[in-house]
Amino acid sequence: MAQIIDGREIAKGIREEIMNEIKTMKGRGKRAPKLTVILVGDDPASQIYVRNKEKACVEVGMSSETRRIPASIKQNELIDIIKSLNQDEGVDGILVQFPLPIGLNEQAVMDAISYEKDVDGLHPFNLGKLLRGENPLFEPCTPSGIIELILSTGVEIKGAEVVVVGRSNLVGKPVAIMLLQRHATVTICHTRTRDLGEVTRRADILIVAAGRPGVVYGDMIKKGATVIDVGMNRLAEKLVGDVDFESAKERASFISPVPGGVGPMTIAMLLKNTLRAAERQTA
């Protein structure tokens, strides 16, 4: 039976460290870090995610602002808002909540954010630095959270065979690069991989970010593996991951739950990046 990796508890420890650092900043007469989130349209899931980020900011003593913008906004108007925030010295981090409404180009919007305020770690400058093995200003939040979850188990990454199911720019590709830099042997596969189970059964560490429920189940997992489930899917008023949890926990040594695994860690790493952005700006 697998040991559950408690993302909420690990994230709580990170948030406490951030809160203490912000208290120190304020004690030195500096302002609190500020995160501005841009929410376009009224997607219900996005609204929940944004509320969770707002709550997390308040808990650690960080300033939070949400710009709620109608879905009818034009691309150039949205980019003008971002450019204005880029120039605002009182804003340390900018995050655009995805997905955007149809008709808006997500990549163009992401590219418009200053790489110095790209606390999501998805600007081409930061991703390019990551790919080159250099230190980006900010690493992507979800992959950073995944690494922290793995480290919390005590499982050795160096030399481990890692399989990443999913090839998105948000999770799959950057987490694979980050694990390569930690000397893991990494395979990236996806929902169109032939005989996916044959590949996943090789993994000492299995990361599933396919965006589809039930992609991986118990007999696709190597006995004793560490399983990180990045998926977040709503089925019959219930949240489930991309891994069939009940069958997977019988095979794995460690497994992250959904909810309560990667999600809280993503927000914790966002706060950490925003704090770092503020430290750079006020230095």
Give the confidence band of 75 by pLDDT, cuts at 50, 70, 90: very high
In a domain, 46, yes or no: yes
% of the chain residues with pLDDT over 90: 93
pLDDT at 234: 85
- Per-residue pLDDT of 99-123, as tens digits, reads 999 999 999 999 999 999 999 999 9
Q: Which residues carry out catalysis?
A: 53, 97, 120
pLDDT for residue 264 = 96
CATH number at residue 97: 3.40.50.10860
Whether residues 157 and 106 share a domain: the answer is no
Give residue-wise pLDDT tens across range 120-139: 999 999 999 999 999 999 99
Residue 268 lies inside a defined structural domain of this protein: no
Question: Does residue 183 have a pLDDT over 90?
Answer: yes
Is 102 part of any domain? yes
Burial (CB count <10 Å: 0-12, 13-18, 19+), residue 111: middle
Q: What type of residue is 183?
A: H
Residues 106 and 166 in one domain: no
Based on the number of CB atoms within 10 Å of its own CB, is 169 exposed (0-12), middle (13-18) or buried (19 or more)? middle
pLDDT digits (tens, 9 = 90+) for 203-217: 999 999 999 999 999
Domain-located, residue 11? no
Q: Rounding to the nearest 10 degrees, give the CA dihedral for residues 280, 38, 268, 253.
A: -130
pLDDT band at 44 (very low <50, low <70, confident <90, very high): confident
CATH code of the domain covering residue 258: 3.40.50.720
**Domain co-membership, 36 together with 104:** yes
Q: Distance between CA atoms of 151 and 13, rounded to whole angstroms? A: 14
97 & 179 share domain = no
pLDDT (0 to 100) of residue 281: 86
Closest by Cα among 119, 90, 71, 151 to 282: 90
Q: How many domains does the chain have?
A: 2
Structural domain of residue 37, as residue ranges?
31-114
pLDDT for residue 3 is more than 90: yes
Task: Give a yes or no: residue 79 inside a domain.
Answer: yes
Same domain, yes or no: 149 and 249: yes
Tokens 């044959």 belong to which residue?
198
State the pLDDT at residue 184: 98
pTM comes to 0.96
